[in-house]
Chain A
Amino acid sequence: MSEPAARTDPPFAPLAINVPLVRKILVRFIQNEVRKVGFERVVLGLSGGVDSSLAARLAAEALGPAAVKAFLLPYRGSDPRSRADAMAVVEQLGISCQEIDISPQIDSYFARFPEADQRRRGNKMARERMTILYDQSWAWRALVLGTSNKTELLLGYGTIYGDMASAINPLGDLYKTQVWELAEGLGVPTQIVQKAPTADLWAGQSDETELGFQYRVVDRLLYYLIDRRYRVAELEAEGFDRRFVEQVVRTVRDNQYKRRLPVIAKLSSRTIDREFRYPRDWGH
């Protein structure tokens, strides 16, 4: 992936969104799902990337900037530009923020496992950040705001019980290209919308290099595959390479476990989530 591919160019019409409409639905979603369960505030991890910047933007509008606390949770290998971008969002929105360097706890743990590779370390960092956010949410009586988008959730490009963990997620039904469109429309700083996406788990990491394809390409495929339920032959007729289609189908399938609660061994006649089915908003 040599070219920076942060923008939908040319735009893919079926994924184009009405920005004011989506903004209204998501802002009210946050207001409604936070307040009706007795909360007023949210915390989120702010990485300086477009997803968390957009989530912060929506939460600040929904609950007011005083009700949003962003946590900058860098590791010593994190790109300093990520911090600068996150601070630009904090200042733009007038939300509060706190920085907690996770290097000591990560390094202390991996001193015992020096052989750990980058992916293992990256997952541990994501879960370290999760435990901090949940602890801080308890301390501040807030909910943890999720920032995973639909592309990541489908491809399993996230850490289970790490960045994929949250109480409510306003972005989970928006593909990455739609996140870009909404972020741009809502005035998320341009340098954040336009930079190449990265999980920033190690220096120079790029989502698209690691995934092996560009978001704007895979989002088109996922739209046909998931939203429109095209068959492989129909996708080939749309111009998608068969091997690419099969790779993405396999990736979506192999990551299904990340989108589900743990499998429970069935014994009784009323097992949680099988016969015991209640809405999350039970009584609200």
Chain B
Amino acid sequence: MTGGGRLRVGLAQMDVSLGDRERNLARHREWVDRATQAGLELLVFPELSLTGYFLKDLVPDMAITLEAAELRELEALSRDCDLVVGAVLEESDRRYFNASLYLSGGELVHVHRKVYLPTYGMFDEHRYLAAGDRIRSFPTRYGRAGILICEDIWHLSTAYVLSLEGVDLIICPSASPGRGVTTDERLGTAESYGLVCRTYGQFLTTFFLYCNRVGYEDGANFWGGSMVIGPNGDVLAQAEDADEALATATLDLGEIRRERLANPLLRDERLEVTITELRRVWHERTRRPY
């Protein structure tokens, strides 16, 4: 699929109202308008962009099903520009997932359910949400893509699996609260996400889109800093911290071929060694007597 061509991408670094789906959906319309006017072909919204993040007991009230009217409207919005939208998804078995939906050409193309739900420190996702159990890539009109939501990328295995599926692009919608004040100009979270995203781009020789939101919920600030990383680890676009911004970049998809010729890390990846060693580790763990 990755023959070349160019893709105009945008990251909607937006504020989100906590527990007000209607208002947030209206904001999505406005951002899609902006994206369309800017000639973008892919627009990424942050994690839980329809609902806000620290939902707690609002989770079931804010959830939508795949049959929801909101989803039909979002599909309609995706006719000219592919969209990645964050929502709480209610399944027929009444499990609720932190999900990102990929919409394209007026249709739902893919759903990623967050696999790693942070439940430590200031986070409590597993109390309210079910964890996804799939890391899958999917074809798009420009190449293979995969979605990982926020905490998912703090587990190397997720991006590794997508990489071996041959993705050209990893999309990471995020709602990362800022913390860690030192004498540095940026928050500790901003520094560490920058390091992680650039590392993925370079290690996996893939484009990496990180879209974080801004605004405050119960005193916690979301720091923004959304970024587009190239397959050599270069930062192709970077939004300012803390302010709403539409960060845009034109991806030269031919860069993936060129980078993988220069650095054939993916070609040389020894999947069978990894699987063998992981099986051994798993075996040893499960055979411990107590």
Contacts and interface: CB of A to CB of B under 8 A. Distances in A.
B108 to A, nearest CB: 28
A168 B220 CA distance: 12
B185 A284 contact: no
Interface string A270-282: 0000001111111
Chain B's interface size range is: 20 to 34
Interface of A: 14, 16-18, 20-22, 24-25, 28-29, 32-33, 36, 168, 276-284
B18 A25 contact: no
Given A25-B221, A32-B215, A282-B18, A277 B57 contact: yes
Contact of A28 (B55, B187, B217, B242): B242
A33 B215 CA distance: 10
Interface of B: 17-20, 54-58, 178, 181-187, 215-219, 221, 242
B216 A279 contact: no
Contacts of B185: 18, 20-21
Contacts of B187: 21
Given A279-B19, A284-B20, A21 B186 contact: yes
Nearest to B15: A32
A14 B182 CA distance: 7
A14 B54 CA distance: 29
A144 to B, nearest CB: 15
A28 B242 CA distance: 9
A35 to B, nearest CB: 11
Contact of A29 (B18, B19, B183, B219): B219
A284 B17 CA distance: 5
A283 B217 contact: no
30 contacts: A16-B182, A16-B183, A17-B182, A17-B183, A18-B181, A18-B184, A18-B185, A21-B184, A21-B185, A25-B221, A28-B216, A28-B242, A32-B215, A32-B216, A33-B216, A33-B219, A277-B56, A277-B57, A278-B56, A279-B19, A279-B55, A279-B56, A279-B218, A280-B218, A281-B217, A281-B218, A282-B18, A283-B17, A283-B18, A284-B17
Contact of B58 (A18, A32, A282): A282
Given A33-B219, A281-B218, A282-B58, 15 more contacts: A16-B183, A21-B181, A21-B185, A24-B242, A25-B181, A25-B221, A277-B57, A278-B56, A279-B18, A279-B19, A279-B58, A279-B218, A280-B218, A281-B18, A283-B18
Q: Which of A24, A28, A281 has the most CB of B within 10 A?
A: A281
Nearest to B214: A28
Contacts of A280: 218
Q: Which of A17, A18, A22, A24 has the most CB of B within 10 A?
A: A18
A11 B203 CA distance: 40
Nearest to A178: B181
A10 to B, nearest CB: 15
A24 B214 CA distance: 13
B219 A18 contact: no
